[in-house]
Structure 1
Amino acid sequence: MAKLGKRARAARDVVKGKDNVSVTEAVSLIKENAKAKFDETVEVAVCLGVDPRHADQMVRGKVSLPNGTGKDVRVAVFARGDKAEEAKAAGADIIGAEDLMETIQGGTIEFERCIATPDMMPVVGRLGKILGPRNLMPNPKVGTVTMDVKEAVEAAKGGEVQFKVEKAGVIHAGIGKASFDAGKLEENLKAFVDAVQKAKPAGAKGAYLKKIALSSTMGPGVTVAVDSATGSA
């Protein structure tokens, strides 16, 4: 096991013994420990009481964070003709059809969000095994298969976060940067947790939100009291 450096040990000491703290304290601890030479991403992990192997317990959705993510999201759009022009005008980074499919099949994926018009899905469908595991497959349920390309591109660029539960029942997402004002990070966290709550599937039994943890890219994690994040305290 690799030895922790001096900075990492100091960061661990700051959060040691602090479990299930309030959102305000958690954000303060994360910001205090984000001391890398770059602007660290603040990430949330939500452990849910679901088994996504069952279709009626799958959790997925999207949320527009009130203060954005602080990240420049590269957007790819599968579209032709007027819709391709609409995507370009809206600020899409990559636009194409079969040519884009071939680029992706060749192993080049230079985007974090993928949008498609409905007529392009027979082409995009061939990329399921590549885009699916990366949570990049366009899906009408989260608004990435749409004729309103302009709105979808602008939403992606404006701080919209998509989420999908992983096999272990956990959802991960970036909710901002360590340089954000603490109040803005708190608002983003609560907005994200609220969206996850609203996405509760019909098949979920018992406790749904089991655990919430906050961390920065290089810093230790802090568990957040669920009632503080949901406003039910």
Structure 2
Amino acid sequence: MAKLTKKAKTLATAVDAEKLYGVNDAIALAKANATAKFDETIEVAVNLGVDPRHADQMVRGVVTLPKGTGKTVRVGVFARGPKAEEAKAAGADVVGAEDLLELVQGGTIDFDRCIATPDLMGLVGRLGKILGPKGMMPNPKLGTVTMNVGEAVKAAKGGQIEYRVEKAGIIHSGIGKASFPAEDLRANFDALLDALVKAKPAGAKGKYVKKIAVSSTMGAGIKVDTAEVAA
């Protein structure tokens, strides 16, 4: 068994593994535990009462965090003509059509989010095996296949994040950086949970939000009292 470092022991003892913390206390503790040399991300893990193997229990969508993510998001847009110019004016990092297709096929992916106009989805579809596993494939349900490319680019750069439930029914998401004020992290936490509750699928039965944990990138998980969140 691997021996815990002095720092790991300190972080482990700072959190009561059996206690359920209030949201504000959990965020404050996660910030206090973020002692790495870089600005750690404050992360939230939500265990939902769904079985993603069933199509009617899939939870996926986008939400705009009101206080931003603290990350610089690079946006790539597949568009031509006026729509390409609109994307550039909105701040897109990479814009193109066949030329961008060739770059991605060659292994160069200089973006974190991908947006496309509907007329170019036939072209983008060729990149399914590359972009799909990375979670970057444009999707109309997520607003990334659209003619309003300018708005989509601004949203992606302005704090919009995607969430998708994993096989075990868990959603992981960052809600900002440890350097954020606690009230900003709470605002982002509330926005995420509100979006997840609104996205509750019709096929979900029983308790929907089962468990919540907050942590920093390198810190221990802090269990949140779901009763407080529900209230």
TM-score interval for Structure 1 and Structure 2 normalised by the shorter chain: over 0.9
Q: TM-score, normalised by structure 2?
A: 0.96
Distance 2:40 2:229 in 1: 21
Letter of the structure 2 residue corresponding to residue 89 of structure 1: A
Residue 89 of structure 1 and its aligned partner are, at CA, apart by: 0.7
- Are the counterparts in 1 of residues 17 and 223 from structure 2 also a CA contact under 8 Å? no
- Are the counterparts in 2 of residues 60 and 163 from structure 1 also a CA contact under 8 Å? yes
For residues 1-233 of structure 1, the aligned pairs below 5 Å read: 1-230=1-230, 232=231
Runs of at least 5 residues in structure 1 that lack an aligned partner in the other structure:
none
Distance 2:144 2:160 in 1: 11
Residue 152 of structure 1 and its aligned partner are, at CA, apart by: 0.4
Letter of the structure 2 residue corresponding to residue 175 of structure 1: I
Residue 108 of structure 1 and its aligned partner are, at CA, apart by: 2.5
Letter of the structure 2 residue corresponding to residue 70 of structure 1: G
Q: Between the two proteins, what is the percent identity of the paired residues?
A: 66
Q: TM-score, normalised by structure 1?
A: 0.95
CA RMSD of aligned residues (A): 1.3
- Are the counterparts in 2 of residues 18 and 222 from structure 1 also a CA contact under 8 Å? no
Distance 1:198 1:8 in 2: 37
Residue 187 of structure 1 and its aligned partner are, at CA, apart by: 1.1
Q: Secondary structure at the match of 2:88?
A: helix
Distance 2:72 2:227 in 1: 32
1:153 to 1:16, Cα distance in 2 relative to 1, 3 A: same
Distance 1:133 1:229 in 2: 33
Residue 54 of structure 1 and its aligned partner are, at CA, apart by: 1.1
Structure 1 runs of 4+ off > 6 angstroms? Answer: none
Distance 1:99 1:228 in 2: 51
Letter of the structure 2 residue corresponding to residue 153 of structure 1: V
Distance 1:153 1:21 in 2: 37
Residue 10 of structure 1 and its aligned partner are, at CA, apart by: 0.4
Residue 224 of structure 1 and its aligned partner are, at CA, apart by: 1.0
Distance 1:190 1:2 in 2: 37
Distance 1:201 1:78 in 2: 31
Letter of the structure 1 residue corresponding to residue 107 of structure 2: G
Q: Secondary structure at the match of 1:200?
A: coil
Residue 107 of structure 1 and its aligned partner are, at CA, apart by: 2.4
Distance 1:38 1:174 in 2: 15
Letter of the structure 1 residue corresponding to residue 10 of structure 2: A
Deviation sequence 1:171-193 (CA, Å, 0-9, x none) = 11111000000111111111101
